[in-house]
Amino acid sequence: MMHSLKNIMMIVVESMINKFEEDEMRSQERQKKIQKEKSNSYCTDNCSDSDSSFNQSYKFCQGKLQLILDQLDPGQPKEVRYEGLQTLCSAPPSDVLNCENWTTLCEKLTVYLSDPDPVFSDRILKFYAQTFTLSPLHMTKEIYKSLAKYLELHFISRENHIPTLSTGIDITNPNVIHLLKKVRLLNEYQKEAPSFWIRHPEKYMEEIVESTLSLLSVKHDQSHLVSQKILDPIYFLALVDTKAVWFKKWMHAYYSRTAVLRLIEKKYKSLITTAVQQCVQYFELCKTMKADEVLGHSKPCGNKQKTFYYSGQELQYIYFIHSLCLLGRLLIYTQGRKLFPIKLKNKKDSVSLTDLLVLFTQLIYYSPSCPKMTSPGHLENYSPASMVTEILCILCDQKECAIECLYNNTVIEALLQPIHNLMKGTKAAPNCSETALIHVADILTRIASVEEGLILLLYGENMSSSEEKSPTGAHIIAQFSKKVLDEDISIFSGSEMFPAVKGAFTSVCRQIYGTCEGLQVLIPYSLHESIAKAWKKTSLLSERIPTPVQGSDSVSSISQESQNIMAWEENLLDDLLNFAATPKGLQLLQRTGAINECVTFMFNQYAKELQVSRHKKFGYGVLVTQVASTAAGAIALQSSGFINALLTELWANLECGRDDVRVTHPKSTPVDPIDQSCQKSFLALVNLLSYPAVYELVGNQGLPNKEEYSLREVPTSVTDIIDRLIILNSEAKIRSLFNYEQSHIFGLRLLSVVCCDLDTLLLLEAQYQVSEMLLNAQEENTLETSDSHRDFIIDSLSVERNHVLVRINLIGGPMERILPPRMLEKGGDPYPWPMFSSYPLPNCYLSDSVTRNAYLKQDNDLGKLLLRFKMSDKQSEWIEHCRRQFCKMMKAKPDIISGGALVELLEKFVLHLSESPSECYFPSVEYTATDANVKNESLSSVQQLGVKMTVRYGKFLNLLRDGAENDLTLVLKHCERFLKQQQASVKSSLLCLQGSYTGHDWFVSSLFIIMLGDKDKTFRFLQQFSRLLTSAFLWLPRLHISRYLPIDTIESGIHPVYFCSTHYVEMLLKAEVPLVFSAFHMSGFAPSQICLQWITQCFWNYLDWIEICHYIATCVFLGPDYQVYICIAIFKHLQQDILQHTQTQDLQVFLKEEALHGFRVSDYFEYMEILEQNYRPVLLRDMWNIRVQST
């Protein structure tokens, strides 16, 4: 059966093969017939773009080309010549160009380009166009060169009737039409050639470039009148390519740019000279002619109607625009700028680069504005002002170019001169308009957005020159902006575009006051008040807009008006919001009372995923961090919905969304403790939860602790997150989580970072007993063994809990405590660190530092020094001598400044300072309370826990003894009463302003340990120290709702350490360690927040005790500005680590969790002295001004 089936299949297959072969033969015969018909109809007109030597059935032979040459002979009848052209156009261009007789043919074609019969010239142009389209560069460049050469000879020849400048150009004239067609074809190839000429030898490209420049450099005899001037080739090129797109494309790539600039410099510099000449002539025309005449001169600017005639003035204007674009592109490149200065005819002085830029800026003011475009489809704008603005904005975006061209006083003064005149009341310029001012503001905004440009605006070119008395650009801009915001300039009042002028110049100011150094310069102008006033006025207007009624004629006008008002209102809110970019700016923003509206605006923009502005690179991260560092800011973030949205997004990534969404691809199992999808939310929470924010959002609030949680119940507040992710003390909470382990680890990691702020730790411990919850969880995570012993189960949660427990219960610097790792180790014992479920901690976590006993050593040199100081009678001399000796010892023997010697030195030094009127900042306050008077008063639960923590740390250091807890409690009670005498009454909704200082007094605790637990010495020192300016910045509770501060500062709830010290940390960081400053901005984190945390807790857990002593002593002896210098030194020390963690996107976590390993105050003493020399006058002046000024 199989054999039979095989035979049948063979017969069938053979039959199919035979059938296929017959069909194939018929197909081939049919194809041959078609090809033969094509060959017979060879001479028909076939100019299809698909023709080429690749799809022709023959090779174009030499004999055929000779026949065409004979047919094209001028002596032949017209019909014969036309037939020859038809044959040529039908032939493959590449075959024609490869023939030996091509040179002869090229000469004949050039002759036919001048033929008065349009049939012949058009046929030649069609052949040229076909060649450009289908042939490679080495062939097309011959055609291009011949066309360019023909045009060059055509313009040079006096026999051709080329229009003059006086007659203009009538584009309905056949001769003009033919000429424009040739120029247009040339220009189209110019724009296309750069896309492929890099694939060919450089000489081909150079030949094309040189033939072009040679053509454009053709100039007629200038002896006759200008009005009788014959138009040069560049006029016609400008007609077909007004914005010089060809030059832009040629200059784009280094390959062609090098050749272009080399040839211009060597042979064709006249091209640039005439371009500059055109710009100069147009500017002079603008200055001398009346506005209406100039508008007529600039007719193409906004004329949408089709025109068939261009007058001489219009041609000059088109040539001017072409020259402007050409020069603008030339200035971008270094070699292009080296062509300057340019020597002009009839001008004594050469035109330098700066002269040209000044000319450009003056064109913005003096040239007329375009008529308003009535059609949105009209995209091209040829007004000189807009063209110059576009060019200057492009130059601003090129750093090297901007520095060389724009960043000098001459150009800035030219930009600002009309503004200066407007403020003086003089006329700015004959045609200076609101549009021109908006253009200038746009350029200034771009200049101010770059560091070099900002410095120029703030300080001018000669920063150190004392001779410079004229105000810098920033001052002029700020003065003008304030005047227009306050509507103190009558010239533009009532104008429709006046709000746009206001918005444009406040945008410039925004770039300036969004930086620390810029804000310092602009503070005297109180722009925040002017902007807030304008916003309130606009907000009232938006409320008064009537509701449109359907069918009413006024619907569209009301709608447009409301849109304009709303846009202006949002613009003003954005301006106000940008004050929050710096600590001091945030304080000014809070004073305006508009912080809630600004944060709501920011959240709305954030929800739309919009950037702060086109000049901001890293979104809203830094702004949110700055705002979250203050109590009022945290409340604003909550009321705006920002926190709710953040937590909703977190829950959607961590657990589930609000709605059931069809899952097509299940989530991958997380590998990292915090999954990548949750990392962004985690960092946002870390940024948000500073202590001021935590206290406002969590303070005095209990946990829900529900009996049952819905699986779809999404947390909406910080308290909910603590309840659902951190304190999982019930089965109901555990069961409510889809991903219990992953979610709880997220919560524990968040707790670990947040509790690095010791005030936050004490608050959470006081309200929620966090450590007790963790210990209970560890106790439950055990297994009973046979001998009644319980072993801890080692899993990711128990390891994480163990780390957090050690971190929150053990105080110490990098050398004083040992934190267990979060990762298991390889080998037989993956986790050798002992776990615990009750206190005290195992001893292995306590460092056996040998330096603990060294703190009590007395140094002989220091003792001798103190004795010598006693013999001095002159107080001021003693103080200065003591400071010098302190610096000397810090550099040579820093370890001796500790223990009893440090106590004695501090006591004597502060005593002398407090007795010197010139050194005292606060007045003396009489205090008579005794221990018995304060004994019955109570400390807050946070303070009580802080006392226990302090005593535990002091005992670990062997510096405190039993009974120290009661003594420290008494000291804190005395301090609270002493400071209460100096507090003002204030009514505020902020929790932090309702009563005593909300955190623990870490400075008093540190001082208590320094004084070895002596409560009398400690409090006596504090009374004396409270008179000094340094106390305002080291001892934070000193100025809590203090009557020495302005009332608006008290009501803001912002401490001077934040708006003064950390503000200058950011300012100096940008100047001294710019890479670190940039890293912070890229990470969306603010240096001010971590510095505030360090300073508030006196660097506890970040530095070893000896370094904490040196920090306090340095600030006491040398001044409060050293607090700023120490922070800068720390960032300098951490630079490499900060850059590394910026790349791994965990900078916030690193800075908050990690101690400052290897940092010693003494190592950076010389560096800090340099900082003091450079910055002390500014810093101390601002620190001195925090108090209410006497009137």
Q: Give the tens place of pLDDT for each residue, 315-356.
A: 999 999 999 999 999 999 999 999 999 998 878 889 999 999
Q: Give yes or no for a contact between 1031 and 1038, defined as CB atoms under 8 angstroms apart.
A: yes
pTM for the predicted model, two decimal places? 0.86
pLDDT > 70? residue 501: yes
**Confidence at residue 43, expressed as pLDDT on a 0 to 100 scale:** 38
Q: HSE (CB half, 13 Å, CA atoms) of 858?
A: 10
More confident residue, 69 or 613: 69
CA distance 875 to 862: 19
Q: Structure tokens of 919?
A: 């050194």
Residue with tokens 């109809």: 41
pLDDT > 80? residue 1119: yes
More confident residue, 897 or 598: 598
**Mean pLDDT of all residues in 197-207:** 88
In this prediction, residue 48 has a pLDDT band, given cuts at 50, 70 and 90, of: very low
**Confidence at residue 851, expressed as pLDDT on a 0 to 100 scale:** 46
In this prediction, residue 263 has a pLDDT band, given cuts at 50, 70 and 90, of: very high
The chain-wide mean pLDDT, for the chain, equals 85
DSSP structural state of residue 724: I
CA distance 994 to 989: 8
Task: Give the chain's count of helices (H) and strands (E).
Answer: 59, 4
pLDDT > 70? residue 1038: yes
* pLDDT > 90 in the chain, percent: 56
**Confidence at residue 1189, expressed as pLDDT on a 0 to 100 scale:** 47
CA distance 752 to 782: 23
pLDDT one-digit tens code per residue, 203-214: 989 999 999 999
**Confidence at residue 371, expressed as pLDDT on a 0 to 100 scale:** 43
**Confidence at residue 374, expressed as pLDDT on a 0 to 100 scale:** 34
CA distance 1106 to 235: 80
In this prediction, residue 861 has a pLDDT band, given cuts at 50, 70 and 90, of: low
pLDDT > 60? residue 378: no
CA distance 179 to 790: 101
More confident residue, 617 or 117: 117
Q: How far apart are the first and last CA of the chain?
A: 123
CA distance 430 to 422: 12
CA distance 470 to 102: 70
CA distances from 1014 to 747, 764, 1108 (A): 41, 30, 19
**Mean pLDDT of all residues in 33-48:** 43
Burial class (CB in 10 A: 0-12, 13-18, 19+), 149: middle
pLDDT > 60? residue 659: no
In this prediction, residue 856 has a pLDDT band, given cuts at 50, 70 and 90, of: very low
pLDDT > 80? residue 906: yes
**Confidence at residue 523, expressed as pLDDT on a 0 to 100 scale:** 95
Q: Structure tokens of 808?
A: 């929150």
**Confidence at residue 657, expressed as pLDDT on a 0 to 100 scale:** 53
User: How wide is the angle at C-alpha 858 spanned by C-alphas 853 and 864, nearest 5°?
Assistant: 170
Residue with tokens 């302090």: 950
Beta partners for residue 309, in sequence order: 170
Q: Give yes or no for a contact between 541 and 566, defined as CB atoms under 8 angstroms apart.
A: no
pLDDT one-digit tens code per residue, 957-1004: 999 998 899 999 999 999 999 999 999 999 899 999 998 999 999 999
3-state secondary structure of 351: strand
- Residues 6 or more apart in contact with residue 790 via CB below 8 angstroms: 782, 783, 784
- Residues 6 or more apart in contact with residue 885 via CB below 8 angstroms: 865
Q: Give yes or no for a contact between 93 and 135, defined as CB atoms under 8 angstroms apart.
A: yes
pLDDT > 90? residue 785: no
Q: Kindly report which listed range (103-107, 234-238, 472-476) carries the lowest average pLDDT score.
A: 103-107
CA distance 651 to 654: 5
Beta partners for residue 790, in sequence order: 784
**Confidence at residue 1096, expressed as pLDDT on a 0 to 100 scale:** 97
CA distance 85 to 112: 10
Whose CA is closest to 1103, among 875, 805, 851?
851
In this prediction, residue 418 has a pLDDT band, given cuts at 50, 70 and 90, of: confident
Q: Structure tokens of 80?
A: 């014969």
Task: Specify the pairing of strand 790-792 against strand 309-310.
Answer: unpaired
- Residues 6 or more apart in contact with residue 247 via CB below 8 angstroms: 325, 326, 329
pLDDT > 50? residue 1112: yes
**Mean pLDDT of all residues in 1022-1041:** 96
**Confidence at residue 551, expressed as pLDDT on a 0 to 100 scale:** 53
**Confidence at residue 190, expressed as pLDDT on a 0 to 100 scale:** 94
pLDDT > 50? residue 40: no
**Confidence at residue 369, expressed as pLDDT on a 0 to 100 scale:** 61
**Confidence at residue 506, expressed as pLDDT on a 0 to 100 scale:** 94
More confident residue, 551 or 105: 105
In this prediction, residue 235 has a pLDDT band, given cuts at 50, 70 and 90, of: very high
**Confidence at residue 874, expressed as pLDDT on a 0 to 100 scale:** 67
pLDDT > 60? residue 1034: yes
Distance of CA 414 to the CA centre of its chain: 28
Torsion 890-891-894-900 (CA) sign: negative
pLDDT > 60? residue 233: yes
Q: Kindly report which listed range (823-837, 853-867, 1042-1056) carries the lowest average pLDDT score.
A: 853-867
CA distance 693 to 1138: 25
